[in-house]
Structure 1
Amino acid sequence: MTRPEQQYGLTTQDREAELIRKFDGQQASALLAQLMRYEKTLADEEATQRERILGAIVFLAREGYTEDIAENIQMAKINVSALLNAATVKDERGGGAASNGPRDVGSPQLTPRKPVDGLPSTARQRQLNVQQKNALLKQGMANTAHAFRNRQPGQKEYKWVIELLTHAGLHPAQGILLSYVSIPCGSNEAFAYASWLTTATRFYAMNGVIDTSKNEIMEIESVTDVSDQIVVSVHLKGVGKSWGQLAVELLEEFLREDT
């Protein structure tokens, strides 16, 4: 499939043009600055790979949905292969600018659409200190894990997540759901990604293509043990506790509740 180079944003100028097309000028400037801050963390990546990652972040964002940029950046941090696969699937299935349907999002890493009760709004997150950011991140993760654990039998929202777990031989009761997101990539289709932590403290990244009318898996892209790629640290400069550390702490809390 041939697509405009500008749509993928393969250069800084292209990405800026695409952001301006999808958002108003003031929003586009703020999002470009956000993207450039993330670009600095990719200094060790080969130039072509770096441009692919940044281009995919912009390409997957829907018109008018400013939160998509933050969501895509966080997906790249967790599993860059999932981000690039999502862009490929969207491109191959003709999900260009028209793919503006709602995302299904539940994640501590991905910016929530609605503020969590009792927690600061997204607009104030930049002013939070490290401990507050860690608390916000962990609370969002806990909300996702609790919602999955307390799901109703046959609840459609999690159908594809359970199908991926079953395919991998993972039991839905033997771990916690850390994040999940589905990105529209065509008519009644979406690229779906989920991260899972088993009770044996193994991290899994799972992704595939789902039928959004049924929330069922159409194609399984991969289910991978990514434990060796997850940083588990109580102190990262400027970050505090890593995402992996917060996930492990949350798992320990769940295990204590079960005893």
Structure 2
Amino acid sequence: MSDSLVIIPTYNEKENIERIIRKVFSLPFLFEILIIDDGSPDGTAEIVKSLQEEYPALHLEQRTGKLGLGTAYIHGFKWALQRKYEFIFEMDADFSHNPDDLVRLREACLNGADVAIGSRYVNGVNVVNWPMNRVLMSYFASMYVRFITRITIQDATAGFKCYRRIVLETIPMDKIRFVGYAFQIEMKFTAIKYGFNVVEVPIIFTDRTEGVSKMSTRIFREAFVGVIQMKMGSWFRNYKRA
């Protein structure tokens, strides 16, 4: 059994899922994979099941209905904490996150980080294939988060991360309330409030070439309002570790 688990939420990712699984398992270090599939009608889960005999380190959790990114990751975090993984990763299925960078995120945690973020903006703007309006929206969203929360993370909405186990054991998952972009912000903000060392590792983000993006204006709206709610809520919350 590996000490590292990569959690990949899926909804209608049949074009990408086999390739991403094979790519992760081709890396020089063994990363186990947990797919959280939200009832994909396109047969994503069936493709995963067909690969499980070939890859014993491939795991699948199926949920009924499209329940949201945040709840998928929390489901995966709880699954991981019931087992012995020391490093738990978030990664997209669509190759916007380069699986080769899993090794670099893990090394950052081995070298002292509690949370390692695959950052698009820590060294300029490293985004490929996004239209300019999407780049600007994402970049200024991170600026907005820094302004409201006073955290220094350059890529506050990043969804490519490695957590050390202790971080997920400390953060009370039942108090994480957001499901989209705001989920990613809330997890970083909460980890920082608990005093964990959160570092950014520069990556190149490449937009998907297969399948359909799950981004929506509702998700951005949740993030915009949610950041203010999150900051105000933190004034009345105790972040002391047990």
Q: Same fold (TM over 0.5)?
A: no
Greater length-normalized contact order (CA 8 Å, ≥ 6 residues apart): 2
State the TM-score, normalized to the length of structure 2.
0.31
**Structure (1 or 2) with the greater helix fraction:** 1
